[in-house]
Amino acid sequence: MVKLKKLDKFSGRKGPLLLIIMDGIGFGKKDESNAVHLADTPTLDSLFSSKFSVPLIAHGTAVGLPSDEDMGNSEVGHNALGAGRVFSQGAKRVNADFESGAVFNGALWKQIVDRGKNGGAVHFITLLSDANVHSNLNHLYAMLNNLAEIGIEKARVHPLLDGRDVAPRSALEYIKPTEELLKKIRNEKGFDYVIASGGGRMNVTMDRYEADWDIVKRGWDAHVNGIGRGFGSCEEAIQTFYNEDVNDQYMGSFVIVDENNAPVGAMDDGDSVIFCNFRGDRSIEISLAFDSDNSFDKFDRGRTPDVLYAGMMEYDSDAKIPKQFLVEPPVIDKPVSEYLVNEKIGMFAISETQKYGHVTYFWNGNKSGYINEEFETYVEVPSDKIPFDQAPKMKAHEITEKTIELLETGNYKFGRLNFANGDMVGHTGVAEAVIEAVNTVEVCVEKLLDVVKKLGGIAIITADHGNADELYVIKKGKKSIKTSHSLNNVPFVIVDYGYNDEYTMTGIEKPGLSNVAATLCNLLGYEKPEDYDQSLISF
């Protein structure tokens, strides 16, 4: 059992320690491109100028991604916050197995190849972009080329269009080279490699936290059964949606059909299906749809062909989703919550549906469920099921009221919450809505600080990555709306109403999200675990 040692010089405060994660709120330029700057935020402005405020790195190698050009995301951000250390993540972990050839030498890949040699098609469902947040198209290309070299004659690609972690209308930048590769294989090998179906990531297949199973159903219908709006090519589908003023991430499902209006890529018995995304949150539901038996009741799957389904990674290690996967995920052991429950510290985690798994599953090291239900309470506030620019307040006020209720019971020494507004509304690219989202977080933070002060506690305000801080970028003199995460640093502020010179900020040269867990331990009166990254405070 992992245990903490008590500090000699500090035992914490009588009140609770509250961690407020302002998802997607970072430090950007102080100009019209930054919704955080444009918003009316006197409380946050004051906090950011405090001597107990330090910017944290929330992207790139600081959160386990391949390079510092890789934007952070909520998954790796909450992993780092909860784990107190940096683990190889997402693309970095998958890249290693592709570079070493481990993917192609594994038993699962050989099963897929054997099915292909027996006439089964290999289907690839993937978020088609190079953002390295959920997927990377280079992994798709490597697998297609490997199959072609081996002599597998039939492959189908089912692209999910991004427009969220990349530019809003960049789909053709990824579709065109994909089509070129498929055409090259067709011409050189005479094989049947084509795009079969697709849709926008926020409308097709990639739901998370069971917010809207209809999204998954639309993907299932298109990918598996060839049911959807028919087009002669993927480029035709995309251009049609653009003409209808629909951006990539919100496109409906579409199916590529032949001259007889029949789908070119419906799945059949004996086929294999690879879900190429490596990030877990938006991969779990579609994996359940493929892996579940006849007891599956989330939607009517209709025809369920006998396919071999594989995820890129294991998306939930506790629930064993999916049953088969190509790349082993990072093993994240000893998250800070495990230490705290072993000290019998009561704690809660709360967010709305869109970020609920981030303060639970990802925070706990990619493990679902409670670590110890005796000392933990998890609260999920159901998210709206409409585009978030239409309701930029989201559920921030409901989260705030429930958090106050939990704090005032006196049963919890530590609480953590996530306000999703800056990220989820930030992804829409609608400036007025993003500003309102930040204004909402400002009001809620101020209200929570009043309660923490009344209870004699401490608050920490931080974020997992940037987004709302970069509404657009200027390239070659042209303004381009930006809906993806930023590479900007994020806030970290300690608000300690009982402070009496017990500690100072450590002054780490390049502080990051992984330094937060040790700081939480210190502020609760404990030494940091030996293998955790350095605390942001010293005594």
pLDDT tens, 292-301? 999 999 999 9
Q: Cβ atoms within 10 A of the Cβ of 334, count?
A: 16
Residue 480's pLDDT is 85
Mean pLDDT of the chain: 96
Residue 318's pLDDT is 61
What is the bridge-based pairing of β-strands 308-313 and 504-505? unpaired
pTM: 0.77
3-state secondary structure of 261: coil
Q: Spell out a b/e string for 193-216, using b for 16 or more CB atoms within 10 Å of the CB, else e.
A: bbbbbbbbbbbbbbbbbbbbbebb
3-state secondary structure of 349: strand
% of the chain with per-residue pLDDT over 90: 90
pLDDT digit string, tens, across residues 234-256: 999 999 999 999 999 999 999 99
> Does 57 have pLDDT greater than 90?
yes
> Does 48 have pLDDT greater than 80?
yes
Residue 67's pLDDT is 83
Q: Is 368 a catalytic residue?
A: no
| Contacts by 171-175, CB closer than 8 A, 24 or more apart | 171/128, 171/238, 171/248, 172/235, 172/238, 174/128, 174/129, 174/130, 174/137, 175/128, 175/234, 175/235, 175/238
* Residue 193 neighbours by CB under 8 Å, 6+ apart: 144, 148, 154, 155, 156, 157, 182, 185, 186
Set out the domains of the chain in order of their start, with CATH numbers. 17-88+340-538 (3.40.720.10), 91-327 (3.40.1450.10)
**What's the token pair of residue 269?**
């018995």
% of the chain with per-residue pLDDT over 70: 99
> Does 370 have pLDDT greater than 70?
yes
**What's the token pair of residue 180?**
């070129």
**Token pair 């303004």 in the structure block, residue:** 479
**Token pair 């709360």 in the structure block, residue:** 350
What is the mean pLDDT of the segment spanning 195-214?
A: 95
The answer to whether the CB of 464 falls within 8 A of the CB of 490 is yes
Residue 326's pLDDT is 97
Residue 115's pLDDT is 98
Backbone torsions φ then ψ of 350, nearest 5 degrees: -145, 140
pLDDT band for position 473 (cuts 50, 70, 90):
confident
pLDDT band for position 530 (cuts 50, 70, 90):
very high
> Does 375 have pLDDT greater than 80?
yes
Residue 319's pLDDT is 77
Higher pLDDT: 320 or 101? It is 101
Residue 92's pLDDT is 85
What is the mean pLDDT of the segment spanning 417-434?
A: 97
> Does 317 have pLDDT greater than 70?
no
Q: Cβ atoms within 10 A of the Cβ of 220, count?
A: 26
* Residue 462 neighbours by CB under 8 Å, 6+ apart: 19, 20, 21, 22, 56, 81, 490, 491, 492, 493, 513, 516
- The continuous run of DSSP H or E covering 244 comes out as none
Residue 312's pLDDT is 97
Q: Of 11, 46, 74, 368, which one is the catalytic site residue?
A: 74
